[in-house]
Structure formats: C-alpha cells, structure tokens
Amino acid sequence: MVYSGRNEELIAPLLEQFTTDTGIDVEVRYAGSGELAAQLITEGQNSPADVFLSQDAGALGAVSQAGLFAPIDAETLAAVPAEYSAADGTWVGVSGRARTIVYNPELVPTPPDTVDGLLDPQWRGQIAYAPSNASWQSFVTGLRVLRGDEGAQEWLQAFKAQDPQPYESNGQIRDAVDAGEIGMGLINHYYMYELINSKGAENVAARLQFMAPGDPGGLMNVAGVGVLATAPDPDAAQAFAAYLVGESAQQYFASETAEFPLLDGVAVVGDVPALTDLDPPAVDLSQLDDIEATQQMLVDTGLLTN
C-alpha cells in the first residue's frame, strides 16, 4: 500500500510502469502530503501503509520524527546526493523542485525575484498563494530556518498586509495567472512546464521567474519516499524506493513531470534549467519537519484557516 501525496495524474503512470517492470502490484491512497503525514502519525503502529510518497520533505520529516520509518537501504540512499535525503537515512529524495514566481507580463511587466520584493506596495492584491499546500508551508518552514521565528513572523505579517489571494493549489494559481485573473503567484516550477507542454508555448501568457541566488523564496525541495517500519511487505517497499531513484523513474520525472532528476547522468528536458545552474538557499531539508509550528504561525497571521 502506497500513501501518495503526489498528484494521481502525475504519478499513476509511473506506478503502473513499476508494476510492469517488477511484477509488484500497487494499491494507492491519494491525498495531500500533510494530510497523509498526519494520518500516518495517528495510525502509528497500525497503519496499512508500506510506503509514504510525499510531495515534499517537510511531511516526510514529520513522519520520521514520529519514529515511524525504517532505514532506507544504503544502496538506494547512495543513488542521490546526500543533501536531498534525510540525514538519518529514513527517507530518500526522488525528484527536485524549485519554488518560483509565475507571473502575467501584462499585469506584472517586471516581477520581483526575492521574497522581500513581494512586499512592495505596488503588488498589493496581485499575489496568489496556496495556504494549505505542503510546498508553500515548507517554504515558510524554510524561512523560519533561515531567519528565525521572529524574522519569519515579521515577513508573514508584511505579506498578509499585501492582501494576497488564497487558492487551493499550485495548478489553480498558475491557471489564474495565465488567464490574467491575478498578476502573479508562488508555485513549484514544474507546474508552468506542465502547462506549456499541454497548451503549447505560443498559447501560454504566463511566464516563470526563478528567484535570486540564495533567496528564501527559491527553496529547493524534494519529493521523496519513506518505508514504514510496520510495512506489511518491507521487501516490496524497499524495492519501490529503489525503483524511484533508478534511471527509468528519474527519466520519467525529467521528461514527464519537468522536475529535477536527482540521479547523476539523467538530464533535465527542454527549457528547464539544470539543477547545477540554480543557487537555492542553504536549508537542510531535514529541518523542514516542524510543520505544526509553521501551520500555527500561518493561522496566527491570518494566512491559514483551521
């Protein structure tokens, strides 16, 4: 049983290929990564899940902190750079994604490339964000790591004063910006390439802005997988984790979901910049596990409702 915080449309073809290649059948439960992390923690030793495939490192970290993961096989961990997996080896990153700004040049001719630039009064009411999304919450957690809770709280209060508009998801933000309903929004980079691939570049009005070197807004997060210590089929679970960092799956992430492959030798596709060309902020992904405090901070500033 796979608990998947990754979108079914994005990941289902890869899971089918895994079954074809290995003969291992996969049963999947899809939901938000944060929701699934909370469910795993609630289920504890009684969870039916073998593996947790998460959209981001923060949700994986929360489950790891609860002591619910078994160690990932050493060979699987060794397949990707250490900075994209848990420091204690309890989960492994499988693909990378950068936080970016999607903007409509008709409304925002010159977008900011820093989180502090978003606080310019000219952008009041023109910024979209997805308050319940795991990637947004991980960005805020990363901001807490980089600036401390006080600094993060100050930024969130200033951001709230900009009257940002809440959306359900990265995809909804992208579509609203492309349609000219709002000037810009905070999303993961691959959502933009997904739109270009489906509509054709000539039919897409929106553009993508990568963040300035080292800016907190350019957090490089990962999708990743952890094997539950109580997995009913631990061998199949470890085989699944190994498959996701193998060449076939890594090529899938590069070509089909426009993410950054983490396996050396697998290149990005199209106009996606190489991972080595970006300069994200120095955040240990294992430090993104304090989701509850981040959510409370967002509630306190009025950027998230319970």
Helices (H), the chain: 8-22, 33-43, 57-65, 74-77, 134-160, 170-178, 190-199, 234-244, 247-256, 291-300
Q: What is the C-alpha to C-alpha distance for residues 88 and 109, in angstroms, rounded to an integer?
A: 45
Non-local CB neighbours of 49 within 8 Å, separated by 6+ positions: 1, 2, 3, 29, 40, 43, 228, 231
SS3 95: strand
Q: Is 129 annotated as a binding residue?
A: no
Pairing type for strands 51-54 and 220-228 reads antiparallel
- CA-closest candidate to residue 58, choices 25, 82, 34, 94: 34
**Cα 297 to Cα 156: distance, rounded to the nearest angstrom:** 9
Is 3 a known ligand-binding residue?
Answer: no
How many residues are given for the chain? 306
Binding residue positions: 190-191
Binding residue positions for Fe cation: 190-191
